[in-house]
Amino acid sequence: MTGVKGWHAHAEAVERLLTSYANIPPGARVRLAKKTSNLFRPRSADDAPGLDVSGLDGVIAIDAIAGTADVQGVCTYEHLVEATLSLGFIPYVVPQLRTITLGGAVTGLGIESTSLRNGLPHESVLEMDILTGSGELVTATPDNEHADLFEAFPNSYGSLGYATRLRIKLEKVPPYVTLRHVRMADAAQAVKAIADIAETGHWHGERVDGIDGTAFTPDEIYLTLATFTDVPQRVSDYTGMDVYYRSIQQREIDALTMNDYIWRWDTDWFWCSGAFGAQKPLIRRLWPRRFRRSDVFHKIVGLDERFGIIRTLDRIKKIPGRERVIQDVEVPLDKLPEFLEWFDAEVGMRPVWLCPLRTTRAWPVYPLDPSDVYVNVGFWGTVEVPADAPAGLVNRRIEDAVHGMGGHKSLYSEAFYDQATFDQMYGGDVLAAVRSRYDPDSRLSTLYEKAVKNS
């Protein structure tokens, strides 16, 4: 079976993890010894030994009859999809970027075009083995003695422990995906279309298995409707010279293999590869195909942060200041036009990504109302700010606007909330109660320390 490790290898990896925990000095903070990350917030440097998760990066087993998979916590979705798709399955929700890990998506926040049907990645988790702050390895399910940990774990970002194994539900899928890029006149029309699809699961009589959107301008918004199909057809390839997001404006109908549909955004990191010249034909021809992927671009950003290349260029261009604005926010569906209008006036960054979602039930640390449809709005780039602008000037305005509209913000990037507001928005009382049981000595950083204090 493609890329499946087996239970014996998993047991050995867990034993190494537990040994590494025992080697961390008493009283020292516990953290992962992990070299890669999809976070976009600074983290304090720490040379202390961390948890050895080097062997927890694969698929343990797949049960094709039950439609489930047992997966290690730092297994990337790239490896997970490779294993499941070989048997005709995919996870219920596959985040857009190859190197996001299953544990990271569950303890953080993942989303994709199936989220209107299937919710968020943690909602298809059946059980988890979690290493707690106290060093105990527990199995948490929705209805066992560790149900409180299971409930609070999503969006806890490692503040309650680390998942070593997750059993997830899988969806049986065909090999092809037909796409329709439907242009909307404005955000209000997009809202109505999303509401109709959320209610019926169809658009003009065609089943909709996945939906996301791209807003290029206020009057050029496309909803991309995906239908999974067995029908063989001519498929496009956006890992070569063609750029996927540009095709949305150029083709009303398209088709991809299931694998290429899952990773359609990864090759060019949505549209962010343009900042590195990777969409220019000459550079694209010279840029090896295997390096056209989000983790490579992420590393380039890291090099810039280390050496200050953009800061130097800004000084030459006499740009007074620049703020990084890399965020995903959830706003109620009916508030989408208001948010986009505010965003254009106050931030002015396009295109933006739109992804409708609906949760299956309320979750205490990311409390979206399951009776409502939300839209994830993703925007990633930088904006010019005055030289004397306070830290997070634009990001703080975004937080205030989203909060005022009854929305929520993902915590994978920088956050600036005060403690009281943060606790109110992200289940502070629930987190505190669960931490008191599973991490009584505070060996793990709190969620506020991680997300806002960057510790």
Q: How far apart (Å, rounded) are the C-alpha atoms in residues 362 and 370? A: 6
234 plus 358 within the same structural domain: no
35 plus 156 within the same structural domain: yes
CATH of the domain at 381: 3.30.70.2520
277 domain-assigned:
no
35 plus 116 within the same structural domain: yes
What is residue 67's predicted lDDT score, i.e. its pLDDT? Answer: 98
Whether the pLDDT of residue 455 is over 90: the answer is no
Containing structural domain, residue 50: 7-173+433-451
190 plus 168 within the same structural domain: no
What is residue 147's predicted lDDT score, i.e. its pLDDT? Answer: 98
276 domain-assigned:
no
Percent of the chain's residues with pLDDT above 70 = 94
Q: CA dihedral in degrees (167, 157, 214, 251; nearest 10)?
A: -40
Last residue of a domain, one of 202, 236, 265: 265
What is residue 408's predicted lDDT score, i.e. its pLDDT? Answer: 94
198 plus 64 within the same structural domain: no
User: Total domain count for the chain?
Assistant: 3
109-113 contact pairs (CB < 8 A, 24+): 109/154, 109/155, 109/328, 109/366, 109/410, 109/411, 109/412, 111/328, 111/355, 111/357, 111/376, 112/210, 112/212, 112/355, 113/210, 113/211, 113/212, 113/224, 113/226, 113/355
33 plus 149 within the same structural domain: yes
Give the tens place of pLDDT for each residue, 336-367.
Answer: 999 999 999 999 999 999 999 999 999 999 98
15 domain-assigned:
yes
Whether the pLDDT of residue 421 is over 70: the answer is yes
Name the least confident of 110-114, 320-324, 354-358: 320-324
Give the tens place of pLDDT for each residue, 119-159.
Answer: 999 999 999 999 999 999 999 999 999 999 999 999 999 99
376 plus 260 within the same structural domain: no
386 plus 446 within the same structural domain: no
Whether the pLDDT of residue 210 is over 80: the answer is yes
Q: Contact, 209 vs 90, CB < 8 A?
A: no
Whether the pLDDT of residue 43 is over 70: the answer is no
Average pLDDT over residues 49-69: 94
What is residue 358's predicted lDDT score, i.e. its pLDDT? Answer: 97
CATH of the domain at 137: 3.30.465.10
Give a three-class secondary structure readout of the chain.
CCCECCHHHHHHHHHHHHHHHHCCCCCCCCCECCCCCCCECCCCCCCCCCECCCCCCCEEEEECCCCEEEEECCCEHHHHHHHHHCCCEEECCCCCCCCCEHHHHHHCCCCCCCHHHHCCHHHHEEEEEEECCCCCEEEECCCCCCHHHHHHCCCCCCCCCEEEEEEEEEEECCCEEEEEEEEECCHHHHHHHHHHHHHHCEECCEECCEEEEEEEECCEEEEEEEEEECCCCCCCCCCCCCCHHHHHHHCCEEEEEHHHHHCCCCCCCCCHHHHHCCCCHHHHHHCCHHHCCHHHHHHHHHHHHHHCHHHHHHHHHCCCCEEEEEEEEEEEHHHHHHHHHHHHHHCCCCCEEEEEECCCCCCCCCCCCCCCCEEEEEEEEEEECCCCCCCCHHHHHHHHHHHHCCCEECCCECCCCCHHHHHHHCCHHHHHHHHHHHCCCCCCCCHHHHHCCCC
424 domain-assigned:
no
Mean pLDDT, the chain, as a whole number?
93
Whether the pLDDT of residue 40 is over 60: the answer is no
pLDDT band, very low/low/confident/very high, at 410 (cuts 50, 70, 90)? very high
Please say whether the dihedral angle defined by the alpha carbons of residues 262, 266, 267 and 269, taken in this order, is positive or negative. positive
Last residue of a domain, one of 265, 300, 329: 265
19 plus 142 within the same structural domain: yes
428 domain-assigned:
no
Give the tens place of pLDDT for each residue, 71-84.
Answer: 999 999 999 999 99
Average pLDDT over residues 368-378: 96
Q: Report the b/e string of 376-391 with b at 16+ CB within 10 A.
A: bbbbbebbebeeeeee
155 plus 180 within the same structural domain: no
Q: Decide: residue 205, CB within 10 A, 0-12 exposed, 13-18 middle, 19+ buried.
A: exposed
Q: How far apart (Å, rounded) are the C-alpha atoms in residues 90 and 172? A: 7
Q: Contact, 396 vs 378, CB < 8 A?
A: no
194 domain-assigned:
yes
What is residue 35's predicted lDDT score, i.e. its pLDDT? Answer: 57
State the amino acid at position 18 in one-letter form.
Answer: L
Give the tens place of pLDDT for each residue, 2-24.
Answer: 679 999 999 999 999 999 999 99
388 plus 444 within the same structural domain: no
216 plus 359 within the same structural domain: no
Last residue of a domain, one of 234, 265, 296: 265
Q: Contact, 76 vs 95, CB < 8 A?
A: no
301 domain-assigned:
no
298 domain-assigned:
no
